Amino acid sequence: MPGNKQPVSVLVVVYTGSGQARDIKVLLLERADHPGYWQSVTGSCEAGETLVETARREVREETGLDACQYALSDWQVQNVYEIYPQWRHRYPPGITHNTEHVFGLQLPYPVAIRLAPNEHLNFQWLALQDAAEKVFSPSNRAAILQLPQHVFAG
């Protein structure tokens, strides 16, 4: 049975640090459906949701954090990518590409995370370069590497 996910999603890079690039820590989550696949918070928009609402909901569902208590910023970056074949069944027939909107969520320091066990197995706070090397998604890697320009811009 085909899925009904919308091919519009958010990627939320959760991070700490504001002074030096070397001080930035990035939160990564290990996927439950693919152990060894690490990523930032991500998820599809639900009917009627704005992108900001999706970002806040996904952060809450995947980490237990309330994004309204921290600095959530829309980076105005969109990535269009081909949906991995193993996940296409979640979308309506014929949908092969997704548009991902990138956000950042700045925390004052690394905090404990409450994982959604059906979605993630583990979490890590990693240095920026280590996080970029660990994620499986090229767009997630690019977003992490762009992080310093967003931290120091605002």
- Average pLDDT value for the chain: 92
pLDDT band at 2 (very low <50, low <70, confident <90, very high): low
Task: Identify the burial level of 129 via C-beta atoms within 10 angstroms of its C-beta, where 0-12 means exposed, 13-18 middle and 19 or more buried.
Answer: middle
The CATH code of the domain that includes 24 is 3.90.79.10
pLDDT computed for residue 30 by the predictor: 97
pLDDT computed for residue 1 by the predictor: 56
- 16 in a structural domain: yes
pLDDT computed for residue 87 by the predictor: 84
Rounded to 5°, the CA angle 63-68-70 comes to: 80
pLDDT computed for residue 18 by the predictor: 65
- 13 in a structural domain: yes
Q: How many domains does the chain have?
A: 1
- 2 in a structural domain: no
pTM comes to: 0.92
> Is 98 a residue whose pLDDT tops 90?
yes
What is the distance between the alpha carbons of residues 123 and 146, in angstroms, rounded to a whole number? 21
- Which residues lie closer than 8 Å to 128 by C-beta, 6 or more apart? 15, 21, 22, 24, 25, 26, 144, 145, 147, 148
> Is 153 a residue whose pLDDT tops 70?
no
pLDDT computed for residue 56 by the predictor: 98
Q: Can you give the residue range of the structural domain that contains 142? A: 8-153
Share of the chain above pLDDT 90, in %: 79
Q: Which of 51, 64, 61, 42 is nearest to 111 (CA)?
A: 64
- 146 in a structural domain: yes
pLDDT band at 73 (very low <50, low <70, confident <90, very high): very high
- 85 in a structural domain: yes
Tokens encoding 132: 């970029």
Q: Summarize pLDDT for 42-72 with one digit per residue, the tens.
A: 999 999 999 999 999 999 999 999 999 999 9
Q: Which of 26, 23, 21 is nearest to 41 (CA)?
A: 26
